[in-house]
Structure 1
Amino acid sequence: MVIFLKFYLIGIKGSGMASLANILLDDGYEVVGSDVNNYIFTEERLKKRKVKIFSLDNKEYLDNCFIIVGHNFMDEYLIKDFQKKHLPFLEYNKFLSFYLKKDNLVCCSGSHGKTTLVGLLACGSDKSSFLRGDGYGKKQINEDFFFLEACEYQEHFLVYKPYFSFICNIDYDHVDYYKSESDYILAFNKFASYSSIGLIDYDSFYKINNPYFFTYGIDDRADFYAEDFSFDENGIKGKLYFQTEFITDFKFNNMYGLPLIKDVVGVLAFYFLHHYDLEKVKNNLQNYQMAQKRFNINKINKQIYIDDYAHHPSQMKVNLENVKVLFPFYKYVAIYKPDRVSRLEYFYKDIKDILSKYDLAFICDFNDKTNKDLLNKFNSEKIIYLENINNIKNYLNKDYKYVFSLMSSKDLNLIKNIIIKFFNKN
């Protein structure tokens, strides 16, 4: 029997793979990997931990090393190469299913908000481990729970067997794989069937068939719900009820928006069901920090920059609702970089509709095979297809105060820096 003390991660900068690398390091293993050469924000934490990252053409895998492959890098040529060389390997999600314990595994899934929910759940307990989709993972000895972000793309989440499941929403997505909304919902039903207990957002509960799930949300028909809730520039607040019984109140000045109110209800419901001291949980949540690219607010001089993972029209709508509450006297500018042609085509009308509600919106190229005809269809009175990102300066006025919502699963630092330099220039 070979005991592996080294792991080689192909695609180590991936949002889940980078998190996994941190978990393996916490468990005392040696970790190296390979990925594309261009900068991705997830590599910062890896560099601090002195993880070596090689180029993808590196084929010199370490002796006695177990190979973990990110989803985007798993192809038949790689598999044949590994098999020919008798190299042990697993795909990312299959490795996690093998590696993690089942008796304390809590899987968090849903169309949007998984990363934030995992972060909140992990923050609620001093003895929790987690893997979330922004390159951050943490493993503790003698953990009470392991909170895992479980993505529904290509049914990847169906390999996990958690004892407890969260579904924070079901909003049709990944249209390149799921050819109909019913196929998408069916995958979530399969996922829900693997747990004997769980929590699901009330607005989506009718889409699954599992009588052992509690519901949560801001609707008083849910099992756990908030009343007297609100949010403004000072944060969120409300009162938590369980089936008409008052449980506790909550107030957090480090969170914004209705989705975060729902998340807090879900997190407090989880710990209530596990008989935790909710006052201690709430105290822990006061230290919560938003995950990377999840409505990260940065003020530079008069201008506000918000890095947001929003790449689906539902998320973009939340972004606009939030900025209007938090920054009422600014002009709202959306900068959107799509990630998939299939998503852009399917949600074209919805995306165009929400972008037109900003004071000004820009849509950017997103890969070498960008469908320019499709992007040109977005051009309108308030929406501009920006072929050259340097041209954004021509549409800005130094006398105005703007909120720039930089929305994408892709990197938008180049255009952000162009805007910052424009306003810093005398």
Structure 2
Amino acid sequence: MTLFHFVGIKGSGMSSLAQILHDSSYEVQGSDVEKYFFTEEPLRDRKIPIFPFDENNIHHGMTIIAGNAFPDDHPELKRAAELGIEIIRYHDFLGNYMKNFISVGVTGSHGKTSTTGLLSHVLSGFAPTSYLIGDGTGKGVEESDYFVFEACEYKRHFLAYEPDYAIMTNIDFDHPDYFKDLEDVLDAFSDMALRVKKALIACGDDLNLQRIHANVPVVYYGFEESNDFAAKNIIKTEDGSTFDVFVRNEYYHTFTIPLAGDHSILNSLGVIALCHYEGVPVNVIQERLSSFLGVKRRFSITPINGRIIVDDYAHHPNEIRATLQTARQKYPDRELVAIFQPHTFTRTSALLEQFAETLSAADHVYLCDIFSSAREKSGNLTIHELVEKIPGATYLDLENVRLLDNHNDAVYLFMGAGDVQKYLYAFKDKMAKDETA
């Protein structure tokens, strides 16, 4: 049997794919840096071997799956090439793998992971479903009918896929280290839409998505009545949201979700539209929506000493806005403390004014040093340029995390796509020590 060796197995998509292949009875191992990433936990739970990068990991009898972040001259990939071993890039492998199933790709500038998680949970209540979620979660189910996967637009990697269906949540300018402008992003999504084989489910409230053309039916969802699937009569509470769904202006069903924020209603609508198209009974859709517990690092809540600690992946102004809106709905009587670590110098520089405007909606703002991705060497920008643009904002480093102690029963929103969790853990440790002192 083939042994799959993953170069960069701790990557969010790579970890998920390794889990799927392991669950499908393939032999799997991988290599990566020794630094801890939360994506390695499900790998270790499955006892999948993880080695430090070393060209000696590579030998005959393997198939190499290479993470997109690693160049061809990476020592392990060079060694594999020298030995004549098959090397397949992650997105190419995934593109071939999904041909065995009814495939549903979830893509968009924001909301991919949450929507992929929700869709895989709902479909799993209807038929055997394998899935790959961008939070490092993957599951291979025997004799699956469906394969649900997160399709990332970065470097146009999603153009390796030809799914039966695609859900597109929105189109926004992001990844400025690769995309030139919004038109360049729109061009990539337009190309992706042409690769869909059965139907495209798209948020019709997004003006950019209205410009998308496809060779298959396009089903729109959103709050506007003009959408094929429209949410009306919305009731929001601290426990979630209830709304009526109209299908082409005809009442379909009233749904309740245990999730806050407009974006959660929209994500649910996209899932409902896809399930309606596939004939999933409405009672199954509602039951599964009700039992969805969320995905990793998307408004993950920990109550401590009367305070609410939230870990969230938000790293774009529109994602921060959604996180703040969610917190206001769930905790209307509490102060919101935003602790934000920008991700990449290029994104921070390109969206500096939008970051300042969005973060200003929090009651208190703390800003951590910019996280430098492997995609870029460094930047001339510093976090202090953002601090100066937000009235009352405070610079935060690990040495002065005690400053967060000034806000009693507040909601603390730790946001970012880098290692903002180290500030969260430091704050938790401080509170634990204070409690035992």
The percentage of aligned residue pairs carrying the same residue is: 32
TM-score normalised over the length of structure 1: 0.94
1:211-250 aligned at under 5 Å gives the runs 212-250=217-255
For 1:324, the equivalent position in structure 2 comes to 328
1:19 aligns with 2:24: no
> Is the 2:346–2:379 Cα contact (8 Å) retained in structure 1?
no
Alignment of 1:201 onto 2:198: no
The whole-number CA distance in structure 2 between the counterparts of 1:63 and 1:376 is 51
Following the alignment from structure 1 to structure 2, what is the Cα–Cα distance between the partners of residues 330 and 419? 19
Matched letter for residue 29 of structure 2: V
Q: What letter corresponds to residue 235 of structure 1 in structure 2?
A: G
Structure 1: any 5+ residue segments left out of the alignment?
Answer: none
CA drift of 1:357 comes to: 2.1
- Give the superposition deviation at 1:107: 0.9
Task: Note the alpha carbon deviations across 1:150-181, whole angstroms, 9 max, x for none.
Answer: 00000000010111111011111111111121
**1:403 matched to which residue of 2?**
411
- Please say if residues 224 and 265 of structure 1, whose CA atoms lie closer than 8 Å, have aligned partners that are also in contact: yes
Q: TM-score, normalised by structure 2?
A: 0.92
Cross-structure match for 1:109: 107
Partner of 1:156: 157
For residues 5-404 of structure 1, the aligned pairs below 5 Å read: 5-78=2-75, 79-101=77-99, 104-126=102-124, 127-196=128-197, 197-204=199-206, 205-210=209-214, 212-253=217-258, 255-365=259-369, 366-367=371-372, 371=379, 373-380=381-388, 381-386=391-396, 388-394=397-403, 396-397=405-406, 400-404=408-412
Q: Deviation of residue 62 (structure 1)?
A: 4.4
Letter in 2 for 1:12: I
CA distance in 2, matches of 1:358, 1:73: 38
Structure 1 residue 413, shift from structure 2 partner: 2.8
Q: Which amino acid aligns with 1:223?
A: D
Deviation at 1:371, TM superposition (A): 4.3
Shift of 1:395: 5.0
Q: Equivalents in 2 of 1:234, 1:28: separation in Å? A: 40
Q: CA RMSD in A?
A: 1.8
- The answer (yes or no) to whether the contact 1:34–1:58 under 8 Å persists in 2 is no
Q: Aligned with 2:406: secondary structure?
A: coil
Q: 2-side partners of 1:23 and 1:279: how far apart?
A: 28
Instruction: Tell me: CA distance 1:214–1:389, structure 2 relative to 1, closer, same or farther (3 Å).
Output: same
C-alpha distance in structure 2 between counterparts of 1:65 and 1:385, whole Å: 48
DSSP-derived class of the 2:428 partner: helix
* 3-state SS, counterpart of residue 236 of structure 2: strand
- Whole-angstrom distance in 1 between the partners of 2:231 and 2:180: 35
Letter in 2 for 1:242: V
The separation in 1 between residues aligned to 2:300 and 2:41, in whole angstroms, is: 17
Question: How many residue pairs were aligned?
Answer: 420
Q: How far apart in 2 are the matches of 1:60 and 1:103?
A: 32
After TM superposition, give the deviation of residue 271 of structure 1 in Å: 1.2
Q: Which moved more, 1:209-218 or 1:359-368?
A: 359-368
Which AA in structure 2 matches 1:201?
C
Distance in 1, matches of 2:183 and 2:247, equals 31
Unaligned runs of 5+ in 2: none
Q: Deviations over 1:25-66 (max 9, x none)?
A: 011011111111111001111111111111123532244111
Partner Cα distance (1:159, 1:367) in 2: 27
